[in-house]
Amino acid sequence: MQIRSETSVDIARVHALNVDAFNQSAEADLVDMLRASDDAIISLVAEDDGDIVGHVMFSKLVTPPRCLALAPVAVAPDHQKEGIGTALIKRGLTMAKASRWRAVFVLGDPAYYTRFGFRVEDAAKFETPYPKEYMMARELMPGALKAMDGALTYAAPFSAFD
Ligand SMILES: CC(C)(COP(=O)(O)OP(=O)(O)OC[C@H]1O[C@@H](n2cnc3c(N)ncnc32)[C@H](O)[C@@H]1OP(=O)(O)O)[C@@H](O)C(=O)NCCC(=O)NCCS
């Protein structure tokens, strides 16, 4: 299994994978919209024997500046619980840090995302329309979150997703 950046030839298969993992097309459409709006910063695939079995996207937030949103992450149903989601998220965080993004936010189940260093407490001071108990943050630069406040604004395609 190989983790690598998505290329243009992967796009249709990434769409199909997201439909398969979420059992609906909303997340797959969101991925396509984030790519089209140039908000997608990191888009990684997990490839196994020529098949795309996992995908993760990190997109830039409108505010706070130089911060990313992790969403969505998808693993093919017959490959879940094999560590693929973990590998995709860890690689994405490493790449984001190397490119000097300041922090990453994620909306999801803390039971899953806290293992990557995301914390509900670290996102609590930011204004968001999303439920605070599921909003988490992880800084990539020491002290970055302390220096930020205000609204947490996702890229425009997320409003269509709501
Ligand atoms: C969530 C998802 C990406 C995890 O990927 P994965 O490759 O199956 O996960 P990993 O193998 O890296 O990690 C498995 C661990 O995560 C846990 N886990 C998986 N999905 C979880 C969830 N929704 N909530 C809490 N824990 C979850 C598993 O129980 C397992 O825990 P363990 O290590 O304590 O046994 C994958 O299950 C998936 O695509 N689900 C459908 C789409 C989805 O819900 N995406 C996330 C929202 S954006």
Domain boundaries, the chain: 2-161
CA of 58 to the centre of ligand 1 (A): 17
Q: Is 111 in the pocket of ligand 1 (CB under 6 A)?
A: yes
| pLDDT per position as a tens digit, 44-87 | 999 999 999 999 999 999 999 999 999 999 999 999 999 999 99
The closest of 146, 62, 61, 55 to 92, measured between CA atoms, is: 55
Residue 53's contacts (CB-CB under 8 Å, 6 or more residues apart) are 1, 17, 46, 47, 75, 76, 79, 84
pLDDT band at 162, cuts 50/70/90?
Answer: low
CA of 80 to the centre of ligand 1 (A): 7
Q: Is 161 in the pocket of ligand 1 (CB under 6 A)?
A: no
Atom of ligand 1 nearest to the CA of 71: 48
Atom of ligand 1 nearest to the CA of 111: 25
CATH superfamily of 2-161: Gcn5-related N-acetyltransferase (GNAT) (3.40.630.30)
Q: Tell me, what's the pLDDT at 67?
A: 98
Q: Tell me, what's the pLDDT at 140?
A: 98
DSSP-derived letter for residue 83 is S
Pocket test for ligand 1, best of 17, 81, 89 (most atoms within 8 A of CB): 81
DSSP H or E segment with residue 31: helix 26-36
Atom of ligand 1 nearest to the CA of 89: 12
Peptide bond into 157 cis (omega under 30): no
The C-alpha atoms of residue 126 and residue 10 are separated, in whole angstroms, by 35
| pLDDT per position as a tens digit, 4-46 | 999 999 999 999 999 999 999 999 999 999 999 999 999 999 9
CA of 147 to the centre of ligand 1 (A): 31
Q: Is 152 in the pocket of ligand 1 (CB under 6 A)?
A: no
Beta strands 51-60 and 2-5 are unpaired
Residue whose CA is at the smallest distance from ligand 1 atom 30: 81
